[in-house]
Every structure is written in C-alpha cells, then in structure tokens.
Amino acid sequence: MSTLTDRYVFAALRSLPEGARADIERELRGSIADDVDARVEAGQPPAEAENAVLTELGDPARLAAQYSGRPLYLIGPDLFLDWWRLLKTLAVILTPLAFLGSAVVQMALEPGDPAGAFGAAIGTAISVLVHLGFWVTLVFAVIQFNGTRRKDLGLQPWSPAMLPQVPRKSQVSLGDTIASVALAAFFIGVLFWQRVGSVMYLDGEPVVVLQESLWSFWLPYVIVLLVIEAGFAVVLYLAGRWTYAFAGVNAVLALAFMVPVLWLLSTGQVFDWAFLANVDWGADASTWISGITAAAVLFIGLWDIGDGFLKAWKSGRSGHVPAAVR
C-alpha cells in the first residue's frame, strides 16, 4: 500500500514533462518531509501530520499547474478543474453510448446499408461531443460570470482522501481491457449479423460471405473462443500484470483460433464463393482473398502470442515496483 505522500507526488507529477519530474519530485518530497517532521516534533501524530501537510498543499493538479507555469483560466482558476473533470467524464460515457445507439437505430431502419449506418453513428458521436463541450462550458462560464465560488455550489473541498492510487508499472490498463472486450463483442455481433442479415451487400442485395455449414460447429466454436478471450482480458486486468502463465494461456487461445481457421481456409471451407459470379474481381479472386485472409490470421496470431510473452518478460524485469517510487 503506497503512502499518502507517494500518491500525492504521483498525482502531481503525472501531468508534468518527463524531464522535469525528477527535480520536482525531490523538491516536493523534501518540502513535505520537512513540514511533516516539524508537525511531529510539535507533538502531532505522524499520520495526522502528513494528512494536514498535504491538505495545506491542496489539489496536486493545481500544484502541477503552478510548477509548469500553466494557468488554469479557461473557465477560471476556481472552477477550472471541476469543469475539466466533468467534461471528460461525460464525454467518456455519453459519446460511445451515442455512437452505439445511433448505429443500432440506423441498422434497424436501413439494414441494407451498414456503411451508411457506421458513418451516421460517427457523425452522431461527434455531434454529441461538440454539444457537450459547448453546453458544459457555457454553464460553467455563466456560473463563473456570476461570481459563484466552489463553496457556494456545495462542491466538496479537495482532501488527501481523493488522491488516486499509484499504479503499478506493469499494471494492465483499463483502456486495453475495454478495447479487448469490445472487440470480442464486435466480432460476435458481426457473426450473428451474418446469420440473420449480411455484412456485405452488392447492388442492394445481401451477400452470404461465410458457408452455412460452418454453423454446425466452427462458428459456435469461434464465438465461444471470443467469449473466453473477453473473460481472459477481464481476469488479466483484475490480476494487474502479465505473467508467463497468462502468456501461456494467451498463446493457447491464439493457437486455438489460428490453427483451425488456417486449416479451414486451406481446405476452402470458409467463404461462400457464389457472390463472385456477380462481380468482376478476376478469375483468381478466391485465391488472393483466401491468401490475404490467411496471412492476416497468421500475422495477428503470432503477434498476439509474442506480445503476451514480451509483456510477461517486461513485467518480471520491473519487479512490480510502483512507478512513482522507483
């Protein structure tokens, strides 16, 4: 468990340029230690002394802005950090929801135009992002113009209890985990959509891309693998780091997908080539489509396996020491 000082220093340094962090960290730690020692000598318990010193220093993001000479005056220094945190939170939550909602509605209204639905969903997401930026900024600007202060709004004053935990250097990021789960869900959705509709249209007519016989075993097998991959990503995130055991599991999952798919491609059991009769892609279209697909599957599978073992090796070398106190 990291100390409050470690957490405070980490929060203050993370937005500063890499080259300036070492000097500022020494200065900041020295200042905190001196103030804590003075309070302890005056009879205050160490934990209370540390908490009081950090409370007097204030929000580490504000302190970092002072160190870097970066003024917080877009909205006003008193409300700037509240505006920025609220805007980021709303953008992260509402923009993806707007994209997904728009995509689902557009696909339901125009099932024959998936590209159009995707484009409309992107446009909706951008529009939501722009509106969020405008309206949240406008509300805070009006509040600032009226002279309202944070204390007038009942906003909780900053305290050391609000400090983030110091992440481990080998920690698996939440962003990577969400991306892995979302990608698995996306491919599962594409497979089921191919079952009830199509991911490819020619002259407005749906095209069967995958052979129907695959649904007897291989496509359910792939869907189960994707669900396991998503679960593995969550377990990896909860564990917090790559190990050689996790790398081994990752390799097994990659091979469990790569080997059968390459075999199916080599034996011509993946694509339904009937649609080629309606397009002019050349006599050898089936050959180069299968070749490109096989190369992509092989490259992604080998890269995934190598990346897992590389991350496990780096994690072992780091010794799992918190980055801020290294």
**pLDDT tens profile 15-36:** 788 888 888 889 999 999 999 9
**Dihedrals φ, ψ of 140, to 5°?**
-70, -35
What is the H or E stretch that residue 202 is in? strand 201-202
- Answer whether residue 205 shows pLDDT above 70: no
Domain assignment of residue 75, yes or no: no
The model's confidence at residue 41, banded by pLDDT at 50, 70 and 90, is very high
Give the amino acid at 173: S
Of 68, 92, 121, at which residue does a domain stop?
68
> What per-residue confidence (pLDDT) applies to 228?
93
CA dist 137 → 80, 82, 88, 97, 142 (Å): 10, 11, 12, 21, 9
In the chain, the largest separation of any two C-alpha atoms, in whole Å, equals 89
Residue 213 carries which DSSP code? G
280/112: higher pLDDT: 280
Least confident of 81-95, 135-149, 226-240: 135-149
Same domain for 88 and 58: no
Residue 279 carries which DSSP code? S
Same domain for 214 and 193: yes
> Of 1, 4, 13, nearest to 324 (Cα)?
13
Domain assignment of residue 158, yes or no: no
pLDDT in tens, 243-254: 899 999 999 999
Query: How many whole angstroms from its chain centre is CA 227?
Result: 19
Q: What is the spatial distance between Cα 106 and Cα 235, in angstroms, rounded to a whole number? A: 34
pLDDT in tens, 146-174: 666 666 676 677 678 777 776 655 467 77
Domain assignment of residue 26, yes or no: yes
| Crossing angle of helices 4-13 and 46-57, rounded to 10° | 20
The model's confidence at residue 196, banded by pLDDT at 50, 70 and 90, is low
Domain assignment of residue 289, yes or no: yes
* 102 CB-near residues (< 8 Å, 6+ apart): 117, 120, 121, 123, 124, 125
> What per-residue confidence (pLDDT) applies to 176?
83
Average pLDDT over residues 209-226: 88
Of 45, 68, 91, at which residue does a domain stop?
68
Domain assignment of residue 156, yes or no: no
Of 68, 102, 121, at which residue does a domain stop?
68
Same domain for 274 and 197: yes
Q: What is the spatial distance between Cα 145 and Cα 175, in angstroms, rounded to a whole number? A: 37
What is the H or E stretch that residue 290 is in? helix 285-318
Same domain for 211 and 178: yes
Domain assignment of residue 127, yes or no: yes
Same domain for 235 and 106: no
Same domain for 240 and 285: yes
> What per-residue confidence (pLDDT) applies to 232?
92
Give the amino acid at 175: G
> What per-residue confidence (pLDDT) applies to 204?
62
Same domain for 268 and 185: yes
- Answer whether residue 236 shows pLDDT above 60: yes
Q: What is the spatial distance between Cα 162 and Cα 264, in angstroms, rounded to a whole number? A: 54
Domain assignment of residue 74, yes or no: no
- Answer whether residue 210 shows pLDDT above 60: yes
pLDDT in tens, 111-141: 656 666 677 878 888 898 899 989 988 888 7
Same domain for 182 and 144: no
Domain assignment of residue 206, yes or no: yes
Same domain for 304 and 191: yes
Instruction: Please count the residues of the chain.
Output: 326
Tell me the two tokens of residue 236: 């990896």
Average pLDDT over residues 58-66: 84
Same domain for 101 and 16: no
- Answer whether residue 238 shows pLDDT above 90: no
208/47: higher pLDDT: 47
Same domain for 142 and 184: no
> What per-residue confidence (pLDDT) applies to 316?
74
Same domain for 278 and 190: yes
Q: What is the spatial distance between Cα 269 and Cα 136, in angstroms, rounded to a whole number? A: 54
Average pLDDT over residues 41-55: 90
CB 54 within 8 A of CB 160: yes
Residue 158 carries which DSSP code? P
Highest mean pLDDT among 12-26, 103-117, 266-280: 12-26
Q: How many CA atoms lie within 13 A of 17 on its CB side?
A: 7
What rounded mean pLDDT belongs to the chain?
A: 81
Q: What is the spatial distance between Cα 209 and Cα 200, in angstroms, rounded to a whole number? A: 7
- How many distinct structural domains can be found in the chain? 3
> What per-residue confidence (pLDDT) applies to 296?
92
Average pLDDT over residues 29-48: 91
CB 240 within 8 A of CB 171: yes
Average pLDDT over residues 59-66: 84
Query: Residue 277's domain spans which residues?
Result: 174-325
